Structure 1
C-alpha cells in the first residue's frame, strides 16, 4: 500500500511537471518561464512604468522589457528554491509592501473624488505665497557644510552664532569638520513659512538646513529675481491647492477610521497622551496589563512605521529643498 502511494505521488508530480512544461506562449501569454506565464497585461504594466521617448523603437523596447521580466522571474524561482519565500523576513516585508500598495491605490481613488480647485482658491494661494510666485528669487549663498553630530541636540550650540566664522569655531570645538563654499536656493522650492522666517532674519545672519544626511549653514550674499509666467504660476498653484485638498481628505479618512476602529496597545506602546494618562491613574487602581514575560503570554511585536500618505495626498507646498552643497 505504501509503495502504491509513493508511486501515485510520483505520477502526480510527473503529471504536474509535464503540464507545466506543456504550456505554450499564445493568446494573452507572451512567454513561459519554467511553467510560469508572463501575460500581456503584465508586460503592459511593466511598460507603463517606463518613460518612452517618441523616437524609440517600441517593438524593440517591448522585447527588452520582456527579457527583464524573464530575468526577474528566474531569480524569483531561484529564491523560492532556496525557501526564501517562507522566511519570517519575507512574510513581514511582503505584508508591508501589500499594505503600502493598498494605501497608494486608496489615495488614487480618493484623488478621483476631489474636484478641481476653485479659481478663487488658486488666486488666494498665489497671493498667500509670494516667495513661490511674484516674489520668487534665487538666493546666492555663502555656505558651510558639516556632517550631522551624533546627537542633533548639539545643534542648539549654534543658536548664538551670528556668522559662518562663529559656526566654524563652534563646530571645531564639537569636533566636526566643515567645508566652505557657495550655493544657490530657489525660494520657489522652499516651504513658504520657512522662507518667511529666513526673510525676517537680520542681514548676514546664518541659517542651517539639512542636506542629504548632513547640514549646511548659509548666509545670503545676493538675490536674483526669478520671473515666472502667469500661466505657470496658475498651473503650479492649481496643483498645490489640489494636493492640499487631497491631503486634507486623506487625513479626514484616517481620523474617521480611527474613531470607528478598536485599537488596543500593549503597555508602553500607546501614544504619549494615553501613556501620560495611564501614569496619572491612582496607584491602587492600575489598568496595566500583566507582564507578558511573567505570565507566559506572547509579546506583541513592536508597532511598525506608519505608511506615508499617498503621493497624491502630499502636503500643500513643495517639499523643502535643502540648500545646495557648497561648490568645491
Structure 2
C-alpha cells in the first residue's frame, strides 16, 4: 500500500539527504574535516541542518531526487541569507512591523509545539473503531461515487426564491433553467467539476449521495441561493483495507484536536482573564458575555485530512475546503 511504502521510505530519504548534504559540506574531499557547514555567505554559515529542515517539508520527494533537491535548497538559502544580511544592514529587522511579525510567528510556533505535545498522549483508534467509521460512512466507502456536478450561484432576493424554485422544478434541463434566469434578468455564475465523494464536504455528502442523476439541490448562500445539479455519477467503492490507513489518520487527528480544545478550556478555567476597553464593554452589555472561542484542530493542530482511500490517487485533504467547484 502507498502509505506503508512511504513509511519505509522516509528514513531512507532522510539518510540520503543527510549524506548528500554532508558531501556538499565537505566538498567531496576526504582530506577535509567533516563539517556541518554547507556554504559560507560572507561571514555567515548555512548548515546541513538548515537544508534538511527544508527538505523534510517537501512531500513526495524520492531518495533519488535528494541530491538535486538539496543543491536547489542550498541555492535558495544562499539567496535568502543575502537578503537577510542586506535587510539587517538597512536595519529592517528593527522595523516595528517586522518585529511584530517575528513575535507573532514565534508565538504560533510555540503554541503549535504545545498542541503537538498534548496530542502525543492521544491513543490511536482501535481496529473496531476504524471498522465502525467505515460502516457508518457508506457514501465515502462502500457506496462511494464519482460525481459530475454543475453549480449555479444565483444572486436573488428572498422574495424571488419561491419563483426560482418553481422554475427549477419545471425545467427539463439546466439549459432551460439558465435561460429563464437570463430572461428574468437574474444574475448568476456557473461552474462544473468532477468530484469524488471524499472531495465533497462531509456535512453535505449524505444528501448528495441520495441524489440520482438529473436531480438538483437548492441551498441558501450569502447573496441568494445555490443550485447544484447532478449531471451523472459512477460507482467506485473502496474496501475497508484500502480505506483503513486514511480513516486511522483522520480519527487520530480528530482526537488530537479534541484533546487540545479540552486542555485549552481547562487552562481558561484556571486562569484569570480580564477583558479591557471595548472588549470589556462587550462582555458587560445586557445579555452579552464574551464567548470563549476555543481553538479548532486546524488552528493549532495540523488539519485532519478527510478519510479517503489511500490508494485512490485522490486528494484526501480537499474535503475540508468545501465544494470549491471550478
For Structure 1 versus Structure 2, the TM-score category normalised by the shorter chain is 0.5 to 0.7
Q: Secondary structure at the match of 2:230?
A: strand
Instruction: Please list the CA deviations of residues 202-250 of structure 1 after superposition, one character each: whole Å capped at 9, or x if unmatched.
Output: 973334699xxxx974211322111213211222222221122111111
Alignment match of 1:55 (pick from 53, 64, 76) = 64
Instruction: Report if the CA contact (8 A) 2:131-2:240 is conserved.
Output: no
**Aligned 1:1-328 pairs, distance under 5 A:** 27-50=35-58, 51-56=60-65, 58-144=66-152, 159-160=161-162, 161-162=164-165, 163=168, 176=187, 178-179=189-190, 182-199=192-209, 204-207=215-218, 217-269=227-279, 275=282, 277-279=284-286, 308-312=298-302, 314=304, 318-325=319-326
Q: Retained in 2: the 8 A contact 1:141–1:183?
A: yes
Q: Distance in 2 between matches of 1:313 and 1:252?
A: 17
Comparing 308-317 with 117-126, greater Cα deviation is found at 308-317
**For residues 233-280 of structure 1, what are the alpha-carbon distances to aligned partners after superposition, in whole Å with 9 as ceiling and x for unaligned?**
22222222112211111111111121122222224335xxx8365335
Q: Which whole-Å deviations, capped at 9, do the CAs of 1:5-64 have from their partners, x for residues lacking one?
A: xxxxxxxxxxxxxxxxxxxx97323322221222222222122223432333x4443333
Secondary structure of 1:279's counterpart equals coil
RMSD in angstroms over aligned alpha carbons?
A: 3.6
1-structure distance, mates of 2:47, 2:186:
58
1:82/1:196 CA distance change after superposition, 3 Å: same
Structure 1: which 5+ runs fail to align?
1-24, 282-305
Q: Take 1:155 and 1:322, find their aligned partners in 2: how far apart are those partners? A: 23
* Stretch of structure 1 that moved more, 46-55 or 36-45: 46-55
Residues 117 and 242, structure 1, Cα contact 8 Å, conserved in 2: yes
2:149 is paired with a residue of what secondary structure?
A: strand
1:52–1:86 distance in 2 versus 1, CA, 3 Å:
same
TM-score by length of 2: 0.67
Residues 208, 172 of structure 1: alpha-carbon distance in 2 compared, 3 angstrom cutoff: farther
Q: Does structure 1 retain, via aligned residues, the 8 Å contact 2:256–2:301?
A: no
Given that 1:241 and 1:316 are in contact with CA atoms closer than 8 Å, whether structure 2 keeps it comes out as: no
Shift of 1:310: 3.2
